[in-house]
Structure 1
């Protein structure tokens, strides 16, 4: 496969992962259970979906991807679990606005880590697009002082963990992507399971939790892992910020919740930043 084709696949996979992850708000509104219960179901059903893929592709040798994960694979899983714990913990300790703005710094954190560990010099257009996207997220959620120090720290920790996962996947191509995604999804679900209210789950909720896990966790993690292996770290992180403007779009379409002018303007800026970067990167690849 040519480098240009591989790069285009990376753009496609990471974009699709951002789209699947942006449905989290839609599913949480649709299911209506407490957050710990939904995260537990999402992780467990997501792991089951990825495991079925592993069985279909490896058949009798399904243990091989897990057996060959090595220390790097286990480190990736640990970082995913810590990131999930930090993300869940930050929800009640800081505002959505602070969390979104902190997450929007992930391209710059990824660029710094990529330069340190992978010696990747970020392209100028990627840095410029990341700055524009950060401004767009800031406009969407505002710059209020309604956060908390502990919550902001946990949100930053979750963002750093995601950036580190990008670096690990990018720098260690020998690690089994599906096995890491499967184990990471399972562990994130099991961590939240003790705090879940299992008695509140109805028959219809099980099907919705399965959809949540298969689409938002299994598909999202797998696509993200496949794509981030093919792109520079800063570009993976930049495209991942599409989650922020797309999330209110699905809620609006499904529940008719209108977004304010501030959200619309900021969302358009983020979308234009990412789309502009993709177009410029395609032009660079053709050149």
Structure 2
């Protein structure tokens, strides 16, 4: 796969993920753990079907083959999934996605510590530009964000960064089983938390179940398929930066559908963010082209 194809797949994954805040806002009664369980119930069959198709039916063998890296990546996704759901339910969509954008910073540090993977100067510059853009998007609402939701969003960012670095560390041809494991771990975790805390139930309205399961099957599973495929040719620090398309679009969808205000700062920051994505992707494409021209 070429670098440019990987960029396109990761950006498309970000677009799919960007509608999840809107979907969660339309879930009326299900709590965080119930949404986590039902969303994962919708996601896991799609991912296992994809694994079966690619492996000729050797699903269990592929699940075992991911090893420690796949298990760690799956556990990271539990934090990513649960934190994101809780953040969307307890703070503004703009605030949540702003904090999700800390993921490139976590990924850069983890990639350096675990993989000794160098981070290009252009990528650091693009991360800085993206941070400025995201700050412009949500600065009006930052001071009034719910603290619990903010912490959950940061945990989500760290979990997704851990998954990203695990993809690189594992060096496996197919890391999609790790995503499926993340879904299975999420089902177990969500159900266990409902039992242990007594806060909520899986017996929520059918509309909430349908929205959660559909979100898992289409936006989340589809996005993870695209993201995982694209990750094979893109360094860890660049992966989460490219997927920040989600940050720009998520507040727009809730503004259009629910009237949640998208301020001038949000629109201006979105433009700066897209510039950062374009600069980083263009730099990577030029580097790839130069490397390909060297014997």
Please give the TM-score of this superposition, normalised by the length of structure 1: 0.85
Are 1:200 and 2:210 matched, yes or no? no
Question: In the superposition, relative to structure 1, how do residues 60 and 283 fare at CA in structure 2: closer, same or farther (>3 Å)?
Answer: closer
1:120 Cα deviation (Å)? 2.1
Deviations for 1:68-120, whole angstroms, at most 9, x for unmatched residues? 22222212212222343444555677666654443323222222222222222
| SS in structure 2 of the partner of residue 199 of structure 1 | coil
- Specify every segment of 5 or more residues in structure 2 that has no aligned partner in the other structure, as ranges: 291-295
Aligned partner of 2:157 in structure 1 is: 159
Question: In the superposition, relative to structure 1, how do residues 35 and 140 fare at CA in structure 2: closer, same or farther (>3 Å)?
Answer: farther
Contact 2:40 2:216 in 1 (8 A): yes
Aligned partner of 1:121 in structure 2 is: 118
Residues 104-113 or 230-239, more deviating: 104-113
| SS in structure 2 of the partner of residue 200 of structure 1 | coil
CA-atom RMSD in angstroms: 2.7
Question: In the superposition, relative to structure 1, how do residues 90 and 19 fare at CA in structure 2: closer, same or farther (>3 Å)?
Answer: closer
What CA distance in whole angstroms lies between the structure 1 residues aligned with 2:273 and 2:158?
Answer: 21
Are 1:218 and 2:214 matched, yes or no? no
Deviations for 1:149-204, whole angstroms, at most 9, x for unmatched residues? 665444333322221211110121227412111120232234234355443322x5
Aligned residues: 282
Within-5 A mapping of 1:167-182: 167-174=165-172, 176-182=174-180
Are 1:260 and 2:263 matched, yes or no? yes
What CA distance in whole angstroms lies between the structure 2 residues aligned with 1:112 and 1:226?
Answer: 23
Aligned partner of 1:187 in structure 2 is: 185
What CA distance in whole angstroms lies between the structure 1 residues aligned with 2:127 and 2:71?
Answer: 30
1:256 Cα deviation (Å)? 6.0
1:205 Cα deviation (Å)? 4.7
1:27 Cα deviation (Å)? 1.6
Which residue of 237, 246, 249 maps to 1:246?
A: 249
